[in-house]
Structure 1
Amino acid sequence: MLKSVKVRDYMTTNLVVFHPDTDLFVAIDRLLKNSISGAPVTDAKGQLVGLLSEVDCLKSILSGSYYDYESLGGVVSEYMATNVDVVEADQDILSVSERFIKERRRRFPVVEQGRLIGQISRKDVLRAVKDFVSPDQFVHKLA
């Protein structure tokens, strides 16, 4: 039954998104304020062009601190990952679950014709499972 559930049914659509020209320290501030570990980067047309993670931010700060504090910072495009693994909105949720396990990912950007439309996380998949297990069965399992 879960095989017929699509990513679009459980993905998050209200995302923090950066643009390539976003100042790195503005991006870091938004990551911290939203308590997230990374965010997609899109161009002006909404096409996914990269992903900026906490690790990318740390690498930029570390490399800048070795050379000169004046060189710290820059823009997101200088530090973001450009080879981003994505899923399609119409993929079934079980195939995405397999990828979470195999690729050890926490979340995937969801695209439709290259355009970012959301994000699916492991928690979203667990929410789908909970929705398809009868309430009695779920409560019984918790007891």
Structure 2
Amino acid sequence: MGIISFQGARSKTKKEHEAPIKVSDYMSRKLITFKPHQSVMEVIESLVKHKISGGPVVGENQELLGIISEGDCIKQLNESRYYNMPIQDATVEKFMVRNVETIDGNLNIFDAANKFLETKRRRFPILEDGKLVGQISQKDVMKAALKLNSQYWRDL
């Protein structure tokens, strides 16, 4: 005959969401940004040096003008070779993507993860009052997942 244990009724634990779950809690605030009149070669050097795949292009007042990525730079390299044009003359504004989708810093990190899946984007800039204040990447979402314990994850 085995031992029978009775612990009685357990009180329901109150869900306490202590861990931050907003995009702004996990976004990068110290960004490497580029200016529209910078040369593409400068961008390539910066991307390689900082081991990043792209970055926002901003104006004088930190307003978001576009994004330039490794792919944009490779496109320029390819075109310069094909047309036999010097790459030193190529500027960011000619090759950046201007129609940039942003994400709200108050958005839930899980909704941001879904947005990454829907759009196939690698990063989203975050604006406040029209100025660039940060960027959330797929890697930032994965970092958030690691910080949130499994119980909290299930409760959402």
TM-score under structure 1 normalisation? 0.84
Q: Which residue of structure 2 lines up, in the alignment, with residue 87 of structure 1?
A: 103
* Aligned residue among 17, 21, 24 for 1:5: 21
Distance 1:74 1:127 in 2: 36
Distance 2:83 2:137 in 1: 37
1:78 lines up with 2:94 in the alignment: yes
- Provide runs of 4+ in structure 1 moved above 4 Å: none
Larger % of helix: which? 1
Identity of matched residues, % = 37
Instruction: Say which is worse superposed, 31-40 or 121-130, in terms of deviation.
Output: 121-130
Q: How many residues align?
A: 135
Distance 2:84 2:148 in 1: 55
8 Å CA contact 2:41, 2:88 repeated in 1: no
8 Å CA contact 1:61, 1:73 repeated in 2: no
8 Å CA contact 1:65, 1:72 repeated in 2: no
Root-mean-square deviation over aligned CA pairs: 2.1
TM-score under structure 2 normalisation? 0.78
Q: Which residue of structure 1 lines up, in the alignment, with residue 128 of structure 2?
A: 112
Which sections of structure 1, spanning at least 5 residues, go unmatched? 138-143
Which sections of structure 2, spanning at least 5 residues, go unmatched? 1-16, 152-156
Structure with the greater alpha carbon radius of gyration? 2
